[in-house]
Amino acid sequence: MSITVLIADDQAMVRAGFGALLDAQDGISVIGQAKDGAEAVELSHRLHPDVVLMDVRMPVKNGLEATRELTQPARGVVHVPRILVLTTFDIDDYVYEALRAGASGFLLKDALPEELVAAVRIVAAGDALLAPSVTRRLIEQFARTAPVTPPNSARLSELTEREREVLLLVARGLSNTEIAGSLFIAEQTVKTHVSKILGKLSLRDRVQAVVLAYELGLVRASA
């Protein structure tokens, strides 16, 4: 079954380039292109794409507003696409807010073609994606601006001690492979722990887990 993609960017050449690249891939089909956030929302509601490539800075309605509207839909809207935010900058002011709004990850516009294709497949499969080159800086930026609050033990009480350890490492930007090495456990075991953490905390993906860990005070910039 083909992964359907909607591309939202205010630059026609960018839309055309990404569209041509993705349409040339097996199992991926670009079903629509939007020139601004408002059109992205309208087309998404009509076409029901699996993934929306969402530029951040667009006229009429920016990518943040469009992301929030698509991932927190009004009553009666049943289709919720995965949002992959595209940004020109390593650290865009909107990136963290887009993740909080419900995006499944972000990727730099200057990423290699194969990285973009892989990102679409990863997000469509239900996983989260943060560009490796900026993940830790993004987390640090959030940590510096997040309110200093004591850990919310009530929210975290459902997690086992090992699950809290894994959540802490996820929040620090470690990959499953790095977590496995740090805790001396199998990578598949890490995946199982992450899955249980998401289920217990009612989170969609590890991006939300990172955000929640900081908001609950489990992790801080100096941690």
- Domain limit, last residue, from 73, 100, 133: 133
Which of 72-81, 103-112, 135-144 has the lowest average pLDDT? 135-144
- Domain limit, last residue, from 88, 108, 133: 133
- The predicted pLDDT at position 7 comes to 96
Residues 140-174 have pLDDT tens digits of 666 566 555 555 567 788 899 999 999 988 887 77
Task: Write the CATH number for 192.
Answer: 1.10.10.10
| Distance, CA of 127 to CA of 19 (rounded, Å) | 22
Q: Do residue 161 and residue 124 come from a single domain?
A: no
Question: What is the rounded average pLDDT of the residues 117-129?
Answer: 81
| Distance, CA of 200 to CA of 180 (rounded, Å) | 21
Q: Do residue 93 and residue 171 come from a single domain?
A: no
Query: Which structural domain range is residue 102 located in?
Result: 3-133
Task: Write the CATH number for 7.
Answer: 3.40.50.2300
Mean pLDDT of the chain: 82
| Distance, CA of 43 to CA of 49 (rounded, Å) | 9
In a domain, 156, yes or no: yes
- The predicted pLDDT at position 92 comes to 54
In a domain, 141, yes or no: no
- On the question of pLDDT at 189 being above 90, the answer is yes
DSSP state of 57: S
Question: What is the rounded average pLDDT of the residues 194-220?
Answer: 81
Q: Do residue 23 and residue 94 come from a single domain?
A: yes
